[in-house]
Amino acid sequence: MIRYRTATMIVKFHHYYEKIKNNKGNGKVEYPKAHLKKGREEVKKITLGMTALMLVLSLSACGELKEAQNAFKKGNEEKETAAEGKKSALNNLLGAIQGNEESYEDDTPVSDLEAYNNYVDLSNFMTGDVESALDRYFAGVEASSDFHPVENGYYIANGFSSTNYDFLDTVESQADLGTAYPDVDNAAMELIPALRNLMQVLDEAADYGKQKSYLDDNYAKGEEIHSRFVPAVNSYDDLRVPFLNSLRDILKEQQKKDLERLEKEGYTIRYQMLKLTVLKSEIMNVIYAQESVSDENILSLDVTDIKPKYEEYSSILAEFATNYKDKAEQEKEGFETYQSTQLGLFYDAVVNFKVQTQALISRIEEQREYSEAEKLILRTADGSLEHLAECGSDVTSRYNSVIN
């Protein structure tokens, strides 16, 4: 099945890439505890830099969704034999619905879909496991070209598995052989060696942190690792941009087809699920496009373009609240009985996103600053970007769980 890359909660992060490039130290620093940098508030959680940030988020509206049609277990089986159904599913993405291959001859064959799935899985891995590892690294090390531990921070202690490296080998091999996506192939061939190198450096840092060897050598090895980490992460950041960019047009076109076909076939629940998830991402894109805005200056956010998307989202959600519970419609659309619970969890997720979008708009319109208590835990503060982003990520996760 086709998968779309998942969203990442970038809105709450500082831009470490810019900090690494711009923060120059004054030579080597000794690291007794008394001299540790007190930069916890400044560092927080940090992910990739400004240039990559805008690209990743421009993809989120179309790139984080799996194709709803591919989750159909039954289709209209009465209109096709089992053999015909298998053949049509192999030749087009929606053949399982009507068994009509000819109407979808332009769709990608399964072999190409499998290759594409690997590329999307790679994107998911980058925005998931890799960014989490970077996040953990910068929980203990400041975002600077020079090495400065974070006071009371936690040096990374978790790395990558052999399965992760095997997956990279698989994707690199398919890119080398060539697929139906030559631009993605080329970008992947450039990216993967840099990604593998970054992972290996992070693995070394993880072993160092797990053993707490920094207590033995006063961070001497940590400084040496960081000297290799900086060029590794910069190289990765530069090369991941073309890779993600190469997926964009493919994803946009597929999303458009998904919505059109779901609506045409009368699959109300699936159409509304996909539409809500798309609108969620469009709302987040409006926020991400205002690249200078963060929770630190939240009241400067312009919500003009958010409001109409929020209103459309709310309108569809009101209909979905009733439609997703319709057992006859669930059966018609090929949902299994156990998926009723998953649908309920998706509904809860889209409701939470609606509530937090509403709270964000209200905060901006009222120009209401965060209270001191809210500042301590922004991820739970109503109307914070961090809270909204987490709710948005949950929408994607729940959507994928239903249709996977």
pLDDT at 255: 78
Report the b/e string of 267-280 with b at 16+ CB within 10 A. Answer: bbbbbbbbbbbbbb
Whole-number percent of the chain with pLDDT over 90:
55
How much is the average pLDDT of 249-263? Answer: 83
pLDDT at 4: 46
Residue 401, pLDDT above cutoff 90: no
User: pLDDT tens digits for 314-371?
Assistant: 999 999 999 999 999 999 999 999 899 999 999 999 999 999 999 999 999 999 999 9
Q: pLDDT band for position 212 (50/70/90)?
A: very high
User: pLDDT tens digits for 166-185?
Assistant: 999 999 999 999 998 999 99
Q: pLDDT band for position 21 (50/70/90)?
A: low
Residue 145, pLDDT above cutoff 60: yes
| Least reliable range by pLDDT among 104-113, 150-159, 210-219, 314-323 | 104-113
Residue 61, pLDDT above cutoff 60: no
